[in-house]
Amino acid sequence: MNIKRKITTNIAIISANILGGISLSLFGWFLFYGPPLSLNLSLSMSSLVFWNSALCLIFFIQHSLMIRNSFRRIAMTKLPAHFHGWIYTIASALVIFVLVIFWQSSELTILQAGGGWRLLLRGIFMVGAVGIVWSVLSLNSFDAFGTGMLRAHVKQVKTVSSPLAFKGPYKFVRHPIYFFILIMIWSYPDLTLDRLIFNSLFSFWMVLATFWEENDLKEEFGEEYRHYQKMVPMLIPWKLSTWIDN
């Protein structure tokens, strides 16, 4: 690898880590506290519903489309394969920035938890956050910001597909990260109109995204994953036998 390409690749790694880390932190803040940097556009209630729904839709389209194997095969043919993860990370970061900054808060409160209930919900949120960390650590490999292939390219080593994870929370549910995100979303103690829109749309999207991801996993792992599907629930760890056996 020549010096120019090596410098370009290293800049891509640094930019992905910085933008990915900042956007992930902002999104975590959004889930726990609400919008940190939102601009008040003084919208009517109906306009607010439409606006926030559109922001969610932009998020869903970008995250669901760009991560699909079919999209990478068709839309990224002219881009080196080791940059695919970087493109996804940068696009995801920009979309999160747009969502967080332009999200419109509503003064209409539907439900509000106080006292001990509020503390309980905050504790449940933390359980969800710990669950995500547990899920990530249980994976055989986890490339949060799409830099794994870039680093391999710099070191001029080949990357290999990671085997299925059968440990930690993956013994109880096939998509524990989505499950714990759902816990974090619905443990927010102040259910305003805008938060209800966010919670409902994101929950619906995660269910759809799980089915789409299942298709990619069956394509990648074949019969091994089909057997895993029969043994472990998809999104909600309802199957008591998995708990008893483990």
Fold (topology level) of 3-245: Four Helix Bundle (Hemerythrin (Met), subunit A) (1.20.120)
* Residue type, position 224, single letter: E
Residue 145 φ/ψ, nearest 5 degrees: -120, 20
Q: Work out the pLDDT band at 101, boundaries 50, 70, 90.
A: very high
Out of 77-86, 126-135, 155-164, 225-234, which region has the weakest mean confidence (pLDDT)?
155-164
Give residue-wise pLDDT tens across range 145-190: 777 777 776 776 665 566 777 889 999 999 999 999 999 999 999 9
* pLDDT band for position 242 (cuts 50, 70, 90): low
- Which tokens go with 50? 């439409």
Tokens of 107: 């003064």
Model pTM above 0.85: yes
CA pair distance 246, 244, nearest whole angstrom: 5
CA-to-CA distance for 141 and 112, rounded, in angstroms?
39
